Amino acid sequence: MGTINNFEDLEIWKDARRLCELIYQNCLQNDKFQRHDKSQIDRASSSIMDNIAEGFEREGNREFINFLTMSKGSCGEVRSQLIRAYDRKYLDEEKFLKLKNESIEISKKLSGFINYLKNSTHKGNKFNRNIE
């Protein structure tokens, strides 16, 4: 893996950003959604990308892994809410499956990234700083 200096360069963050936009287009702008469904799914999908960013900025693998785990949990929350939205007929099957599959793929990628960091000998940039 090459050096990444900004969370915006992480593919997993880009994927989470795309999912967040798809949630906006298909759920938040959908008149069938009730108010509480809109706010909760919006917060959960936003949490996926935000936790990736926050963990990256902490500059240590242990903290990053912790935030990636929270991000993965938010993926599960989005998926659960999508199932509920589908059950309530807020989403048609095609949109539901597309969004659900996107969240599953991000969750798998997060698991892979977490495993990579757990096995990495590099423990994060904050441990490379010279303290004077």
Q: Where are the alpha helices (DSSP H) in the chain?
A: 11-23, 35-57, 61-87, 93-119
What pLDDT, on the 0 to 100 scale, is given for residue 128? 54
What pLDDT, on the 0 to 100 scale, is given for residue 1? 47
Q: Which of 63, 45, 62, 42 minimizes the C-alpha distance to 54?
A: 63
pTM higher than the cut 0.75: yes
User: What confidence tier does 33 reach under pLDDT thresholds 50, 70, 90?
Assistant: confident
Within a 13 Å sphere around the CA of 114, how many CA atoms are in the beta-carbon half?
17
The mean pLDDT of the chain is 90
**Which residue reads 């902490």 in tokens?**
58
- The average pLDDT across 48-69 equals 94
So where are the chain's domains? 11-120
What pLDDT, on the 0 to 100 scale, is given for residue 32? 83
Alpha-carbon separation of residue 42 from 1, 9, 78, 94, 122 (angstroms): 31, 23, 9, 20, 34
CATH of domain 11-120: 1.20.1440.60
Question: Which amino acid does the sequence have at 46?
Answer: S
| Cβ pair 23, 42 in contact under 8 A | yes
**Which residue reads 């990256």 in tokens?**
56
On the question of pLDDT at 132 being above 50, the answer is no
Each residue's pLDDT tens digit, 74-130: 999 999 999 999 999 999 999 999 999 999 999 999 999 999 999 987 666 654 544
On the question of pLDDT at 131 being above 50, the answer is no
Where b means 16+ CB within 10 Å and e means fewer, 17-36 reads bebbebbbebbeebeebeee
Tell me phi and psi for residue 65, to 5 degrees. -60, -40
Question: Which amino acid does the sequence have at 115?
Answer: N
